[in-house]
A and B are shown apart, each in its own frame.
Chain A
């Protein structure tokens, strides 16, 4: 199993550009989520999904859009990039109904918006 994969690993955008961060998992996990990591603030939840076709907002959803058309994929879209979106982005997945089941994280995408 590849686990959770994210592409690209690094990206530089100009203000106003749009892009999609890709996330895929091959563990047949129901739950997937996106976090952003900023210095001094830990990781904060952007959006999450509890299954194909079902998504909801997290703590910091503004400026981001998600969809979940398959169990495997959960892309994150930046609609119009802003410098405040410069961050490291992590995708995570969790399987099973048990709340304590481990979350698996992808390797992260470092995004810089100029």
Chain B
């Protein structure tokens, strides 16, 4: 079974600065997908960024980028030019890609609460 670990329960950053959230995972599979989800106080789960394990290039979405280290099984999220609206809980998640049989099942980390201060 896969496990996902987020070792930072809480993080804080000043507005306009950069912050990095850590995530490690454990799997014996070679084909899988990794995600970062944002959960603001509204409770809605919002997909931030996605990384396919077979791609060596790190994914980027505007101010959000990842550092994917497959050998180290590490998947960190970097938020540049932090904004007050980035304040939320962030979850790292793993999905197996073996044979397409994952059926969308996600394994989540414990979450990191990020607070952006003005």
A53 at the interface (CB under 8 A from B): no
| Smallest Cβ-Cβ distance to A32: which chain B residue | B104
Interface size class of A (residues with CB under 8 A): 20 to 34
A contacts with B: majority SS? strand
Chain B residues with CB under 8 Å of chain A are 4, 6, 9, 33, 42-45, 47, 50, 52, 91, 95-97, 100, 102-111
Does the CB pair B106–A45 fall under 8 Å? yes
Chain B residues with Cβ below 8 Å from A107 are 42-44
Does the CB pair A42–B91 fall under 8 Å? yes
Beyond A43-B91, A99-B97, A100-B50, is A48–B103 a contact (Cβ under 8 Å)?
yes
- A-B residue pairs, 4 tightest by C-beta: A42-B108, A94-B104, A105-B45, A31-B104
Compute how far the CA of A44 lies from the CA of B93 in the bound complex, rounded to whole angstroms. Answer: 11
Does the CB pair B105–A45 fall under 8 Å? yes
Chain A residues with CB under 8 Å of chain B are 31, 33, 35, 40-45, 48, 50, 58, 88, 90, 92-94, 97-103, 105, 107-108
Does the CB pair A42–B110 fall under 8 Å? yes
Does the CB pair B104–A90 fall under 8 Å? no
Chain A residues with Cβ below 8 Å from B95 are 99-100
